Amino acid sequence: EAATDAATEAATDAATEAATDAATEAATDAATEAATDAATEAATDAATEAAT
């Protein structure tokens, strides 16, 4: 029983860590993409305004 509990706990911890890492990576990628898009849009608008 103790060994089974320990193995279950270890597997649960590993799965939780993997899921957390994946979610963090996805959120970071989405935030980076959004920030890049916003900066690109702002720079494009400024350049267009300056050129006209």
pLDDT, mean of residues 24-51 = 98
pLDDT band for 33, please (50, 70, 90 cuts): very high
2-32 pLDDT, tens per residue? 999 999 999 999 999 999 999 999 999 999 9
pLDDT band for 34, please (50, 70, 90 cuts): very high
**Calpha distance 7→29 (Å, rounded):** 33
Domain carrying residue 44:
1-52
pTM exceeding the 0.75 threshold for the entire prediction: no
DSSP 8-state class, residue 52: -
Number of compact structural domains in the chain: 1
pLDDT at residue 38, as a whole number: 98
